[in-house]
Amino acid sequence: MADMAGLAWRLSRMAGGHRLQFSGGHVEILPMEQDDLGPVVQLTRKLMEPLLRTGFGFHWDLRLERAMMADLMRQPVALVIRRESAFIGYTALNPARPQAKLHALMIEPAHQSQGIGTAVLRLLEQRAAGLRCREIVTTVQPNNKQALEFFRARGYADAGADGVNALLHKSLIARADDV
Ligand SMILES: CC(C)(COP(=O)(O)OP(=O)(O)OC[C@H]1O[C@@H](n2cnc3c(N)ncnc32)[C@H](O)[C@@H]1OP(=O)(O)O)[C@@H](O)C(=O)NCCC(=O)NCCS
């Protein structure tokens, strides 16, 4: 547990206030603070509610929202993405060894398809590899075609199912030298 906290601390510090270049400019990556929770909940609802409803027939309610946020808060690393100071997304990672888990990567629709998700994912993979994680996994709802294509196009391979979700994984071993 102490080891995990140490990893989280290092990753958060490395990413804290990090200026991240992407093809269309730059964003700031900062540790998630209490004040970020409102925008985080709103964005999660905006992006996930239609997928949960059409995929599983779930209706968004306070109980579901609390469960999702509690799950998010359990992740050792939770970071917000800001562009010109405005909140435009967040990500959460459990940099466990040997297998890191990307818990979430959410970008505001108005800022999607500009290369930000790719740049954030690359940063997380590099940091996880630097923390000697050998592999990174993530789960995606089977009806989330956009995210499935996004991860597959970035080297993630299908690795079966995790409950009702698709499990994807990518080896980080080749990256360990270039961080
Ligand atoms: C999946 C997600 C995180 C991707 O983020 P994003 O910022 O849109 O990702 P990018 O812009 O880097 O890449 C998306 C597409 O934009 C295009 N793109 C990348 N850079 C671009 C640029 N400079 N100009 C125009 N288009 C570009 C790419 O073609 C890419 O398409 P591809 O996957 O076919 O290669 C985002 O769509 C999202 O938040 N989805 C909803 C939440 C979700 O499902 N999250 C994943 C599970 S937690």
Q: Dump pLDDT digits (tens) for 28-53.
A: 999 999 999 999 999 999 999 999 99
The closest residue, in CA terms, to atom 18 on ligand 1 is: 113
Alpha helices per DSSP H over the chain: 2-15, 37-56, 62-73, 116-130, 145-152
Q: What distance in angstroms lies between residue 173's CA and the mean position of ligand 1's atoms? A: 24
Pairing mode of beta strands 157-162, 77-83: unpaired
Pairing mode of beta strands 165-171, 86-94: unpaired
Q: What distance in angstroms lies between residue 114's CA and the mean position of ligand 1's atoms? A: 7
Cβ-in-10-Å burial (0-12, 13-18, 19+) of 170 comes to buried
CA 165 to CA 126: how far, in whole Å? 25
Task: Decide if pLDDT at 152 tops 70.
Answer: yes
What domains can be seen in the chain, in order of their start residue? 2-178 (3.40.630.30)
Considering the chain, what is the average pLDDT of its residues? 90
